[in-house]
Structure 1
Amino acid sequence: MHTGTHLAQHHLRAADLRAEADAYRLAAEAKQPHAIRTRLGWTLVEVGLRLASSPRPALAH
């Protein structure tokens, strides 16, 4: 194979790999808001459970 042809194929493959990596990175970033909402939701559940299970002081009359 001619060196110019080999180099052109290498550049095309490198560009394809960069595009694939960018697409993967964008897809991973798009999933982040869902993960943040899930973490926030479980944190709120934990706080609610702690409030519900904490002993309440007796009412003084």
Structure 2
Amino acid sequence: MNAKELHDKTPDQLREELSNLKKESFNLRFQQATGQLENPAQIKIARRAAARVKTVLNQKAAAAAATE
């Protein structure tokens, strides 16, 4: 998911997306620890996606604070 798609979502949707990404990241780390992970690059992708969501959430919070 790219940043443009994230900007169109509400903060609640973004928090839900972040929660899902954190769960996915945990599952991927668990698979890696047990030797079941097929593609180690998925960990990096999940981490970056979570960071992207956090960035958009912070931008929306800053914009809301600036308008108040």
**TM-score, normalised on structure 1?**
0.48
Higher relative contact order (CA 8 A, sep 6+): 2
Which structure's CA Rg is the greater one?
Answer: 1
